[in-house]
Structure 1
């Protein structure tokens, strides 16, 4: 018998399921008999509890369980027969339609996956970003490595604080003569000229000598992260407790060797840095160009969104937000009400993009190939000290492999769209690319 499917909304459907009362009752009795052999009730030996007592105590819950199971089975069978791609979980309720004698009717309301129409990709416009690793970028990286291995030596009593020094201070800040939270510290160390402090504070300590104290005004920016002091001016009293000059290691073969570079020459050091920077640039460009492609792909797609899938994504995002709040120490974070509207645009985009990408992958055989998975893992592992261990770590876990597979599929989709679309190249400086989130 053909399954009657009623269309309620764009993607919403309804099927009326009919279950024989006798079948339900038979299954309920079978489960209660099985339960009677296992249940423990005071005053009765195991396996000797009268069925009347078992039925009285557990009959309702078992009956509810059986109906859920049987309705679920009936819905699955009906959906398969009707060749429906069900999105999300169905909502089951007793049907208002009159059932035949000996039958129980239930209505299953659910959504189906939409038809995804992807327009002509040859008319899509995508800006593809490119970037190169310059000698200046390598020079800056060398300096960062030197600073990571710098040492410090005590300055003389008559020396003043200078650019690049590490200075340790006590300070007290007041606004309108009153102390404020976070405005006091003892033995606080920072590097002069490296942006660790507000520029007024940094400038004020320059030239000060060991043991010297000084009072100066400091105007907090209007967008300062501390809302209580943002836009206000404080008076600070600062005392220099310790003053150290930094010593950077010389860039030579010994320096390269200390970094574990196989070719411990200066040329080998720079080549290794360039290789690592090019790898990072590659991943940054892939991510940036992938985002541009996905925007273009969404703009070319037409589909209705299954609200059940959107709601599942909203629930997942809400739980993630609560977990983040809990991680930050927010009290009762797991009970915090988080309105769906906060995440709705993002959730809808994720669902829309997932459906569009899935359709494109299916239609154009863009799934991840074994050799792609292998190459991707090897490339990621290459930046670690023991690549073989990293490769085994990925290969030993199905979830991690699935994450790699998802990345490769997105890369395949990106390459496919770029091969079809109108692409405009845009070169950006290394620093600009690396500064983008």
Structure 2
């Protein structure tokens, strides 16, 4: 096998692989001889078809088959010989294959870049710290109760937090504008669904009341015709409903997977969940800062094949929201590459940088930390031991946990060499900060 490689541009390589005619033709003849033992052709007994006839009938197809197998087998040997790491699948261009002639093919692909770490130490990191207090638990339980609340119609004026059923008609310069009218529309006051002033204007109205609201659309509104436009809405209230919260009892607790009769035990479980969420949020917030600084300090040339693959992965994750209908949709038309490009580049860049840190610092996956993460995941299920066993019997799931642990170990190593300042915060702010950063990872 002869191999030559050249750099075409940046990370792209063009590799030519030559396979001697004797090796190629020998494999073709071997397969034809095997086929001759089993094929049936009119006029010949099974296993007695002359090789010449078999070659005439099946030779071209067998050569194509051998060509594909030879390419698959020799490509890995060729890149090992030239000590290159392809990033993504190669584009293969087979040259003409004739009996008695050497077979050649050209593989074009990108390689992983050489990552030269410029900075990984001395970063200034602000670590938010907080506790889960009694008031935090009270607020969370109130949220959980509202999730299970029922709407009960009342005969009074609407207030913030109430649900109203309304008819409304919007006009601009006396003309009804598109999308500005509805009948029997439910609206929770204070939800922010409508433009500024609409929901506040409905407060104080009772069922049967009508009111004209003079409002202005925001300058950044998505419709060009309505940006900054002065409009009027004629609103009629059909009904007013308030939330009726469920009692704190065993029936409610069970809806959240907590099997208890007492409020104290329910509160304890809620607090444990909140503390687990807070711990993860603190880690996420610090991790995001580390990753941001690594990207800022270390510029990496990105293989377009890896970025394209990450875009497809992100698009697939979003497409899952469409459920089974996603298979019928033109996902690239609905979710174009541009939507995911920035995030995909960030992920690829971080993957390359983190990989180089792992290599240079010789970081190995800590089995105890893997076990701890699996057990933490399992603790949210009713049968934790079964979940742990399932993870350790599923190599793909376990590999995902190992990857996450390895990344955490890299962050820990960076934080050990960083200037970390702890800032006292509160539960809500830490959770919000972490949620704002989750999409970047």
Q: Same fold (TM over 0.5)?
A: yes
Residue 386 to residue 84, structure 1, CA distance change in 2 (3 Å) = same
Provide the residue aligned with 1:74 in structure 2: 74
Deviation at 1:292, TM superposition (A): 1.5
Separation of aligned partners in 1, 2:91 and 2:257: 61
Separation of aligned partners in 2, 1:260 and 1:341: 41
Among 209, 218, 225, the residue aligned to 1:221? 218
Deviation at 1:413, TM superposition (A): 0.9
Residue 106 to residue 268, structure 1, CA distance change in 2 (3 Å) = closer
Residue 51 to residue 429, structure 1, CA distance change in 2 (3 Å) = same
SS at match of 2:181: strand
Residue 55 to residue 428, structure 1, CA distance change in 2 (3 Å) = farther
Check whether the contact 2:217–2:230 (CA below 8 A) recurs between aligned residues.
yes
Instruction: Please identify, of 42-51 and 208-217, the stretch whose mean Cα deviation from structure 2 is larger.
Output: 42-51
Separation of aligned partners in 1, 2:88 and 2:297: 25
Check whether the contact 1:132–1:430 (CA below 8 A) recurs between aligned residues.
yes
Unaligned runs of 5+ in 2: 437-441
1:172-321 → structure 2 map (5 Å cutoff): 172-224=169-221, 229-248=226-245, 268-301=265-298, 304-313=301-310
Provide the residue aligned with 2:357 in structure 1: 360
Deviation at 1:277, TM superposition (A): 1.8
Separation of aligned partners in 2, 1:307 and 1:34: 43
Provide the residue aligned with 1:141 in structure 2: 140
Separation of aligned partners in 1, 2:331 and 2:43: 43
* Cα-to-partner distance string for 1:148-179 (whole Å, 9 max, x where unaligned): 344444434xx322344332223333334444
Residue 111 to residue 257, structure 1, CA distance change in 2 (3 Å) = closer
Separation of aligned partners in 2, 1:194 and 1:314: 33
* TM-score using structure 2 length: 0.76
Check whether the contact 1:322–1:336 (CA below 8 A) recurs between aligned residues.
no
1:413 to 2:410 alignment: yes
Residue 45 to residue 3, structure 1, CA distance change in 2 (3 Å) = closer
* Cα-to-partner distance string for 1:290-315 (whole Å, 9 max, x where unaligned): 12112233345476544554454456
Residue 233 to residue 47, structure 1, CA distance change in 2 (3 Å) = farther
Separation of aligned partners in 2, 1:324 and 1:56: 53
Separation of aligned partners in 2, 1:408 and 1:110: 31
Separation of aligned partners in 1, 2:224 and 2:47: 69
Separation of aligned partners in 1, 2:79 and 2:385: 47
* Cα-to-partner distance string for 1:377-425 (whole Å, 9 max, x where unaligned): 2212333455445445544533222222221111111111101223233
Check whether the contact 1:11–1:114 (CA below 8 A) recurs between aligned residues.
yes
Residue 52 to residue 252, structure 1, CA distance change in 2 (3 Å) = closer
Residue 109 to residue 416, structure 1, CA distance change in 2 (3 Å) = same
* TM-score using structure 1 length: 0.77
Deviation at 1:289, TM superposition (A): 1.6
Check whether the contact 1:40–1:46 (CA below 8 A) recurs between aligned residues.
yes
Deviation at 1:56, TM superposition (A): 5.2
SS at match of 2:74: helix
* Cα-to-partner distance string for 1:209-241 (whole Å, 9 max, x where unaligned): 322333333333233455654433333232222
Deviation at 1:256, TM superposition (A): 6.7
Deviation at 1:282, TM superposition (A): 1.8
Separation of aligned partners in 1, 2:379 and 2:123: 36
Deviation at 1:107, TM superposition (A): 5.0
RMSD: 4.4
